[in-house]
């Protein structure tokens, strides 16, 4: 049976674990993430399918099981697994996507590395994804493609299946034209994206940038614009815009441009926060901390996350305020996502060096200023730390959205706590009641953490109440309804055209 909704994403929609020498498929541990969110859409259609890649030593092995059927709490759906060899994964993902695309998307031109890119392999892998999606899709189905490593899929898919409705969502920033156009494949990428019916982004700024890029490269027709939702306008952040494109014309087709911030699962976090297990964990954390204030930072080990800059700010804080010695503790969670890549090993080494220097300079037998955690912390454990953290310190140099800051706000059922947030995180356009900081400025970073630690309770609660209202209103359900609205509008357009 063909599928009404085909989700195309590089990751498989489950976790593979080994039990008694056999590989077993398990649901993702936490329902609060992009994969569980996407699987939730299968409940809205009669038949759903997922297309992903799977590592295979021999892609031509006839025993490789390409299509499997899954039945879990999200329903029944099929998964097409494209067998990629280690060399293909290295070329397509670790080199082209992470060494060429990733730094440009986050405006780190100095880290861009074009030389090792094998563009034919990237095309080959994207073609395989497009073929698989075309084979799964029912007539007029929605094919929803996700993220930059599958940029060429829409263009190929439009040629293979002109009848399907194609939507693409970016989970990263989208840079300005002078940055994006560093990529030598810029025209091919943008032409592929303009084969979509909908191109989606987190916030208006990224949509504005995309249209400017398209206009710089191609004969794009009139641009339809609208006012930005007032909830997403605040001049205190670098990413705010007042007008946003909602559609462009290209080669006789109208392509819709969406900007909708991904949110968190509010109800699930409230449930976790109220659980007996969390209450016990909270009590244990508070007992360990005593009267010490807890500053919590959670992120991946990546040069875009600003981990080194944040630790250096904490070091300056302790140098300038001896009265904080023994009275504040930073829990810095920095989990490596690409341990086999030199750029990330370098950042991890710098983080460990600065954390070690801080502990060596200021620490004592009774007090360790920094607790550096380099392994993943379970989501339920994180909820307990969120509830006990006096300050959540999220200061990426660039970030498409950032859900950690929203999780912290949702978890603070007591209405207390302070969020310090980089103005270069997409979430900053929503969370204007946070203490907004510029991570490229020592003065801004230092003043922000000092303000957060000294903030009176009345102000803390006022700011938190406003943020909780926003995070609840624009949760994952709101994002899902927004996306479904775009899918349905494509269907209406096709119906009228026929």
pLDDT in tens, 416-460: 999 999 999 999 999 999 999 999 999 999 999 999 999 999 999
Tokens representing 200 are 């989606």
CA 373 to CA 298: how far, in whole Å?
9
Specify if 493 maps to a domain. Answer: no
Ranking 31-45, 262-276, 349-363 by mean pLDDT, the lowest is 31-45
315 and 185 housed in the same domain? no
Q: Are residues 14 and 104 in the same domain?
A: yes
Is the pLDDT at 411 greater than 80, yes or no? yes
Q: Which pLDDT does position 491 carry in this prediction?
A: 60
Query: Looking at the domain assignment, is residue 307 inside a domain?
Result: yes
Q: Where are the alpha helices (DSSP H) in 255-306?
A: 266-274, 276-289
Q: Do 383 and 455 have their domain in common?
A: yes
Q: How confident is the model at residue 339 (pLDDT cuts 50, 70, 90)?
A: low
Rounded mean pLDDT of the chain? Answer: 94
Among 264, 352, 369, which residue's Cα sits nearest to residue 301?
352
Domain assignment present for 480: no
Q: Is 312 contained in some domain?
A: yes
Q: Is 458 within the bounds of a domain? A: yes
> 114 with 230, same domain?
yes
**Mean pLDDT along residues 7-14:** 93
- Tell me, yes or no, whether 481 lies in a domain: no
d(CA 179, CA 162): 32
Same domain, 295 and 374: yes
Mean pLDDT within 302-317: 97
Residues 107 and 224 in one domain: yes
Could you give phi then psi for residue 27, rounded to 5 degrees?
-65, 155
Same domain flag for 306 and 245: no
What is the reported pLDDT for 495? 47
Residue 498: the pLDDT is 43
Mean pLDDT calculated for residue range 125-147 = 97
Structural domain boundaries enclosing 92 = 3-259
* Alpha carbon 202 to its chain's center: 9
Q: Residue range 127-146: average pLDDT? A: 97
Six-digit token pair at 20? Answer: 């008694």
pLDDT digits (tens, 9 = 90+) for 291-301: 999 999 999 99
Average pLDDT for 88-113: 95
Average pLDDT over residues 135-143: 97
pLDDT, average across residues 382-387 = 98
> 236 and 348 share a domain?
no
Is the pLDDT reported for residue 336 higher than 90? Answer: no
**Same domain for 251 and 272:** no
Residues 306, 387: one domain? yes
Residue 41 is encoded by which pair of tokens?
Answer: 């859409």
Return the residue matching tokens 């070690």: 356
pLDDT of amino acid 338: 64
The per-residue pLDDT for 163 is 96
pLDDT at 126 over 70: yes
What's the rounded mean pLDDT across residues 183-189? 98
- The pTM assigned to this predicted structure is 0.95
DSSP of 151-206: TTHHHHHHHH-TTSEEEEE--S----HHHHTTSTTHHHHHHHHTTSSEEEESSHHH
Same structural domain, 330 and 253? no
Residue 497 lies in a domain: no
Residue 486 included in any domain: no
| Listed residues 223, 238, 259: the one ending a domain | 259
pLDDT digits (tens, 9 = 90+) for 59-85: 888 889 899 999 888 889 999 999 999
Q: For the segment 15-28, what is each residue's pLDDT rounded down to a tens digit?
A: 877 777 777 787 77
Can you give the CATH number for the domain in which 13 is found? Answer: 3.40.50.2000
Domain match, 282 and 212 both: no
SS3 track for the chain = CCEEEEEECCCCCCEEEEECCEEEEECCCCCCCHHHHHHHHHHHCCCEEEEEEEECCCCCCCCCCCEEEEEECCEEEEEEEEEECHHHHHHHHHHHHHHHHHHHHCCCHHHCCCCCCCHHHHHHHHHHHHHHHHHHEEEEEEEEEECHHHCCHHHHHHHHCCCCEEEEECCCCCCCHHHHCCCCCHHHHHHHHCCCCEEEECCHHHHHHHHHHHHHHCCCCCEEEEECCHHHCCCCCCCCCCEEEEEEEECCEEEEEEECCCCCCHHHHHHHHHCHHHHHHHHHHHHHHCCCEEEEEEEEECHHHCHHHHHHHHHHHHHHCHHHCCCEEEEEEEEECCCCCHHHHHHHHHHHHHHHHHHHHHCCCCCCCEEEECCCCCHHHHHHHHHHCCEEEECCCCECCCCHHHHHHHHCCCCCCEEEEECCEHHHHCCCCCEEECCCCHHHHHHHHHHHHHCCHHHHHHHHHHHHHHHHHCCHHHHHHHHHHHHHHHHHHHHHHC
Q: How many domains does the chain have?
A: 2
Q: What percent of the chain has pLDDT over 70?
A: 97
Rounded to an integer, what distance in angstroms lies between the CA atom of residue 119 and that of residue 99? 13
Give the residue from 212, 241, 259 where a domain finishes.
259
Closest CA to 310 of 334, 328, 290, 286: 334
Kindly report the backbone phi and psi dihedral angles of residue 336, in degrees, each rounded to the nearest multiple of 5, phi listed first: -70, 125
Q: Return the residue matching tokens 């706000």.
A: 409
Domain boundary among 259, 278, 308: 259
pLDDT in tens, 227-276: 999 999 998 899 999 999 999 999 999 999 999 999 999 999 999 999 99
């Amino acid at each position: 049976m063909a599928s009404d909704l085909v989700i195309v994403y590089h990751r498989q929609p489950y976790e593979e674990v080994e039990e008694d020498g056999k590989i077993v498929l398990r649901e993702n541990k936490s329902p609060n993430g992009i994969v569980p969110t996407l699987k939730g859409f299968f409940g809205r259609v009669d038949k759903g399918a997922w297309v992903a890649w799977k590592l295979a030593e021999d892609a031509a092995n006839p025993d490789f099981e390409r299509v499997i059927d899954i039945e879990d709490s999200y329903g029944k759906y099929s998964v097409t697994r494209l067998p990629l060899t280690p060399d293909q994964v290295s070329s397509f993902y670790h080199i082209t996507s992470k060494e060429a695309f990733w730094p440009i998307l986050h405006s780190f031109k100095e880290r861009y590395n074009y030389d090792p890119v094998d563009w034919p392999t990237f095309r080959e892998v994207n073609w395989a994804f497009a073929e698989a999606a075309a084979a799964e899709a029912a007539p007029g189905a929605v094919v929803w493609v996700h993220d930059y490593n599958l940029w060429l899929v829409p263009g190929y898919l439009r040629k293979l299946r002109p009848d399907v409705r194609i939507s693409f969502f970016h989970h990263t920033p989208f840079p300005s034209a002078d940055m994006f156009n560093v990529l030598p494949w810029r025209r091919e990428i943008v032409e592929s994206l303009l084969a979509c019916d909908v191109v989606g982004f987190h916030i208006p700024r990224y949509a504005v940038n995309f249209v400017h890029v398209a206009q710089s490269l191609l004969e794009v027709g009139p641009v339809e614009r609208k006012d930005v939702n007032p909830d997403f306008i605040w001049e205190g952040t670098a990413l705010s815009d007042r007008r946003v494109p909602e559609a462009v014309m290209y080669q006789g087709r109208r392509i819709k441009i969406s900007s909708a911030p991904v949110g968190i699962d509010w109800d699930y976090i409230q449930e976790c926060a109220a659980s007996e297990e969390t209450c016990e964990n909270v009590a244990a954390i508070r007992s360990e901390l005593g009267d010490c204030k807890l500053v919590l930072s959670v992120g991946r080990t990546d040069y875009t996350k600003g981990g080194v800059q944040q630790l250096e700010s904490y070091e300056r804080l302790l140098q300038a305020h001896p009265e904080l010695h023994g009275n504040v503790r930073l829990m810095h969670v920095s989990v490596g996502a690409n341990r086999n890549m030199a750029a990330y090993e370098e950042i991890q080494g710098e983080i460990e060096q600065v954390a070690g220097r801080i502990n060596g300079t200021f620490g004592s037998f009774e007090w360790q200023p920094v607790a550096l955690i380099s392994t993943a912390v379970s989501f339920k454990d994180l909820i307990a730390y969120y509830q006990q953290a006096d300050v959540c310190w999220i200061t990426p140099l660039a970030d498409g959205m950032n859900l950690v800051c929203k999780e912290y706000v949702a978890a603070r059922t007591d209405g207390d706590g302070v969020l310090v947030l980089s103005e270069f995180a997409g979430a900053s356009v929503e969370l204007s009641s946070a203490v907004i900081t510029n991570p490229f400025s020592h003065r801004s970073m230092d003043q922000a953490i000092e303000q957060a630690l000294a903030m009176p309770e009345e102000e803390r609660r006022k700011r938190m109440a406003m943020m909780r209202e926003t995070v609840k209103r624009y949760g994952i359900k709101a994002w899902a309804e927004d996306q479904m609205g775009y899918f349905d509008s494509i269907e209406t357009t096709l119906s009228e055209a026929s």
